Amino acid sequence: MSQSMSGAPMYDPDLATYLAIGQLHGACHRGSSADVKRLLEEGEDINEKANSGLTPLMCAVKTIGPKPGDDQLVQLLLDNNAEVNAVDILGDSALHVAVAQVESLNELLPKGFDKIVDMLIKGNADINLVDKLGQTPLHRAALRGNAKSIKLLMDAGADTEIIDRSGRTPRDCVFDDSLLPLLERPKEPEGDEEEGA
């Protein structure tokens, strides 16, 4: 069995066979940027999918915690051309995963998911990508009451009119009415219309 740079077991082939994940997924799950960097240098496929469709990027986003530097792993994967719009068997992308990782703004700030959401958006994540439920990341952020992610998605131009398979727009998914103004687009000023002569 391989050892990680910390000396801990790096790869359990029995567990990997069961989960159908590779070494890179395992390194991302552990949050080991050093191991991820080494595995990429050794030629591991940055976009390899597990049976569930989970990519190393999604795995990294799912396992990020409050430790300083956790976001660096996501940036490392993005810098090495991780496919930001890859989807799992449920149609979820890394952005769907990131906006769903929190229950509220209070939980979001200490974990730093706003930074991850911003990184994914800047990494060209499709902000209007729908999952198998027809939900976009904006639907997911609204359902979770994730104000910061709603703002980031709206600032990036997320479509507020997409209807999911249950017939709901992101506005319909909001449980906390104080979040509704975040889902409003500023009204464009009416232009001066020239009248014909």
Q: pLDDT by residue (tens digit) across 145-175? A: 888 899 999 999 999 999 999 999 999 999 8
Overall size of the chain counted in residues: 197
Question: Assign residue 50 a region: left if phi > 0, alpha if psi is -120 to 50, beta otherwise?
Answer: beta
In angstroms, the CA 11 to CA 183 distance is 44
pLDDT of residue 189: 61
Q: Which two tokens stand for residue 74?
A: 């996501």
The CA R_g of the chain, rounded to the nearest whole Å, is 19
Q: What residues pair up with 9 in beta bridges, in sequence order?
A: 3
Confirm whether 196 is domain-assigned. no
Range of the domain at 118: 19-183
Looking at residue 108, its pLDDT comes to: 46
Q: How many domains does the chain have?
A: 1
The answer to whether position 191 is within a domain reads no
Contact 53, 94 (CB under 8 A): no
Q: Is residue 144 part of a domain?
A: yes
Q: Is residue 36 part of a domain?
A: yes
Helix (H) or strand (E) holding 2: none
Q: What is the CATH number of the domain that holds 90?
A: 1.25.40.20
% residues pLDDT > 90 (the chain): 54
Tokens of 73: 């792993």
Partnered with residue 3 across adjacent β-strands are 9
On whether residue 95 sits in a domain, the answer given is yes
- How far apart CA 96 and CA 76 sit, in angstroms, is 19
Residue 54 has pLDDT above 50, yes or no: yes
d(CA 37, CA 56): 12
Domain assignment present for 5: no
Amino acid (one-letter) located at 97: V
Classify residue 111: in a domain, yes or no.
yes
**Residue 166 maps to a domain:** yes
Give the mean model confidence (pLDDT) for residues 71-76: 91
| Nearest by Cα to 61 from 102, 20, 105 | 102
**With 80 as the cut, is the pLDDT of residue 24 above it?**
yes
Contact 58, 88 (CB under 8 A): yes
- pTM for the structure as a whole: 0.75
Phi, psi angles (nearest 5°) of residue 29: -60, -35
